């Protein structure tokens, strides 16, 4: 899996590519740690180029969400392919982490959660 980092106004965007699985845990956890050390309020994970996700990756997303919430920040997932979206739905991931189609919608949803 590849992770490409892009800085936005209020968010840090990670574009993932390839299969998101247990073998990617170190790279993904290091990326989350870099986000936590920075000053952005939202971590956006763009999954449009992820063709496969396993249960370990679901756990990594859930753990990332818990980690960033502890420091009053938020995570959102962007543009998952249909297969990945189905897996996220089966895991009820959308109840904890917004799944959005645009960066703007994700930042807005994360801001609403933060003010609730």
Query: Hey, which CATH number is domain 2-103, 3.30.750.24, 3.40.190.10, 3.40.50.300, 3.40.50.1110?
Result: 3.30.750.24
* pLDDT tops 80 at residue 115: no
Across residues 101-106, what is the average pLDDT?
Answer: 93
- Domain boundary assignment for the chain: 2-103
Asked if 78 contacts 45 with a C-beta cutoff of 8 angstroms, the reply is yes
Residue ranges of the alpha helices (H) in 38-102? Answer: 55-69, 82-90
What average pLDDT does the structure give for the chain? 93
Rounded (5°) CA angle 109-57-114: 20
**Which of 81, 74, 75, 73 is closest to 101 using CA atoms?**
81
* pLDDT tops 70 at residue 32: yes
């Amino acid at each position: 899996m590849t992770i490409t980092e892009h800085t936005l106004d209020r968010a840090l965007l990670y574009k993932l590519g390839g299969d998101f699985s247990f073998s990617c845990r170190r790279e993904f956890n290091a990326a989350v740690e870099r986000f936590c050390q920075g000053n952005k309020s939202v971590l956006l994970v763009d999954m449009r180029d992820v063709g496969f996700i396993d249960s370990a990756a679901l756990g990594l997303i859930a753990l990332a969400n818990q980690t960033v919430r502890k420091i009053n920040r938020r995570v959102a997932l962007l543009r998952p392919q249909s297969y990945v979206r189905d897996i996220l739905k089966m895991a009820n991931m959308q109840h904890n982490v917004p799944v959005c189609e645009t960066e703007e919608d994700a930042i807005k949803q994360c801001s609403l959660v933060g003010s609730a």
